[in-house]
Amino acid sequence: MKHRQIILGLTVALFVLPLLSGSDYVVILLNEIIVWGLFALAFNLLFGITGMLSFGQALFYGFGAYVTGMLVTHFGAFWFVPSIFIGMVAVIVIGFFLGLITIRLSGVYFTMLTLAFAQLGWEIVFKWYSFTGGDDGIQGIYPPDFLNSPLRYYYFSLILVVISVWVIKKFVDSPYGLTLRCLRQNSIRVNFLGLKVRNYQLGVYIVSGIFTALAGSLMAGINGSIHPDMLNWTTSGEVILMSVMGGISQFYGPFLGAGIIVLIEDIIGAYTEYWSFIIGIIMLIIVLLFPKGVLGEIFKLKRKLALRPWKKS
Q: pLDDT digit string (tens) for 51-103?
A: 999 999 999 999 999 999 999 999 989 999 999 999 999 999 999 999 999 99
21-52, pLDDT tens digit by residue? 878 899 999 999 999 999 999 999 999 999 99
Is the pTM value of this prediction over 0.85?
Answer: yes
Sketch the domain layout of the chain as residue ranges. 2-241
251-287, pLDDT tens digit by residue? 888 999 899 889 888 888 777 777 778 777 877 787 7
For 96, residues 6+ apart whose C-beta sits below 8 A from its C-beta are 202, 206
188-226, pLDDT tens digit by residue? 888 888 888 999 999 999 999 999 999 999 999 998 899
Per the model's pLDDT, the better-predicted residue between 171 and 277 turns out to be 171
pLDDT at 46: 94
Rounded CA gap, 148 and 65, in Å?
Answer: 17
Rounded CA gap, 219 and 214, in Å?
Answer: 9
Burial 278-305 (b: 16+ CB within 10 A, else e): bbeeebeebeeebebbbbbbbebeeeee
pLDDT band at 18 (very low <50, low <70, confident <90, very high): confident
Rounded CA gap, 191 and 79, in Å?
Answer: 44
Whether residue 311 is predicted with pLDDT greater than 90 in this model: the reply is no
Given a contact cutoff of 8 angstroms between Cβ atoms, the answer to whether 248 and 172 are in contact is no
224-247, pLDDT tens digit by residue? 899 999 999 989 989 998 998 888
Rounded CA gap, 119 and 163, in Å?
Answer: 31
pLDDT at 63: 95
